[in-house]
Amino acid sequence: MWSVLWAAVRSKAPYVTFPVAFVVGLVGSQLEWFLRGDPPPTAQEEKSISEQREDRRLQEIVGEDLTKVVSLKDKLEFAPRAVLNRNRPEKS
């Protein structure tokens, strides 16, 4: 008799476990909201890190002339000095 009962419990476990877990999660969520209260209004208005980084970069390039760049012909190397420039003479 016990084996039949345990087999029935095993087969019906998802149908019992999901509603119980849903109710526990819902009660926990409501309890957490009640204890913490409303979030501060500044939390929703804060900018993300990527937005702050973009704003800072825009502020840095405001006064610069972006059309003046170094020509590729004037550049001596395209790789870091520590790797490929050991035996090259310095450009004068």
Q: Along the 92 residues of the chain, how does pLDDT read in single tens digits? A: 889 888 888 888 888 889 999 999 999 999 988 888 876 666 557 788 898 899 999 998 888 888 888 777 777 666 566 666 566 666 55
Does 87 fall in a domain?
no
**Alpha carbon distance 42, 37 (integer Å):** 14
Q: Concatenate the DSSP letters of all residues of 31-89 into one string.
A: HHHHHH-SPPHHHHHPPPHHHHHHHHHHHHTSSS-TT----TTT---SS-HHHH-SSSP
Does 90 fall in a domain?
no
pTM for this predicted structure: 0.37
Does 23 fall in a domain?
yes
Residue range of the domain that includes 34: 1-38
Contact 10, 2 (CB under 8 A): no
Does 2 fall in a domain?
yes
Does 12 fall in a domain?
yes
Structure tokens at 20: 């119980």
How many structural domains are present in the chain?
A: 1
